[in-house]
């Protein structure tokens, strides 16, 4: 399909524009997640993850149509036709947003790991300071008189 009509161009620009908006929202949510992690607000953090997943699903839905149009556009350009600056600009901006989101997400994952390791260390320290029930049971004399006494 080497014919790429102006209607195809407009539709692809529309779909890419919507994808760009969704990635901006994902970027905002990913930044918010880092703040929520720092505050230990796990419930809101999970809500932000759910909202982000909904946006990702919406992007996947857009790709059902935009991927076909993008393939047609690429073929159209390879056949010597002129590129559309708007399409190329949006694709580049989307790529940059994705890179930023990945970086922010990686930073959040590192922060989560640090917090998890810190929490595990605190639990281990607290556990080692307490005498476990097993140690207590071993120190109690096992004499029948102790349990047979009547008040």
- pLDDT 10s digits, 58-85: 999 999 999 999 999 999 999 989 999 9
Quick one: pLDDT at residue 144? 58
Q: pLDDT digits over 80-121, tens only?
A: 899 999 999 999 999 999 999 999 989 888 888 888 888 788
CATH code at 18? 1.20.58
- Domain containing 26 equals 6-141
The answer to whether residue 54 is domain-embedded is yes
For 105, phi then psi, to 5°, come to -65, -45
The answer to whether residue 1 is domain-embedded is no
Convert the chain into a string of H (helix), E (strand) and C (coil): CCCCCHHHHHHHHHHHHHHHHHHHHHHHHHHHHHHHHHCCCHHHHHHHHHHHHHHHHHHHHHHHHHHHHHHHHHHHHHCCCCCCHHHHHHHHHHHHHHHHHHHHHHHHHHHHHHHHHHHHHHHHHHHHHCCCHHHHHHHCCCCHHHHHCCC
The answer to whether residue 20 is domain-embedded is yes
The answer to whether residue 116 is domain-embedded is yes
């Amino acid at each position: 399909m080497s014919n790429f009509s102006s209607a195809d161009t407009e539709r692809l620009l529309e779909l890419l524009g919507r994808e760009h908006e969704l990635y901006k929202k994902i970027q905002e949510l990913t930044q918010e997640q880092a703040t929520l992690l720092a505050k230990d607000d796990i419930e809101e953090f999970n809500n932000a993850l759910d909202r982000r997943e909904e946006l990702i699903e919406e992007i996947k839905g857009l790709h059902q149509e935009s991927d076909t149009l993008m393939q047609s556009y690429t073929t159209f350009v390879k056949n010597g036709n002129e590129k559309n600056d708007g399409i190329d600009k949006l694709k580049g901006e989307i790529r940059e947003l994705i890179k930023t989101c990945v970086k922010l997400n990686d930073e959040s994952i590192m922060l989560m790991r640090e917090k998890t390791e810190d929490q595990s260390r605190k639990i281990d320290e607290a556990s080692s300071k307490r005498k476990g029930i097993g140690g207590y049971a071993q120190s109690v004399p096992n004499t029948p008189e102790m349990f047979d006494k009547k008040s």
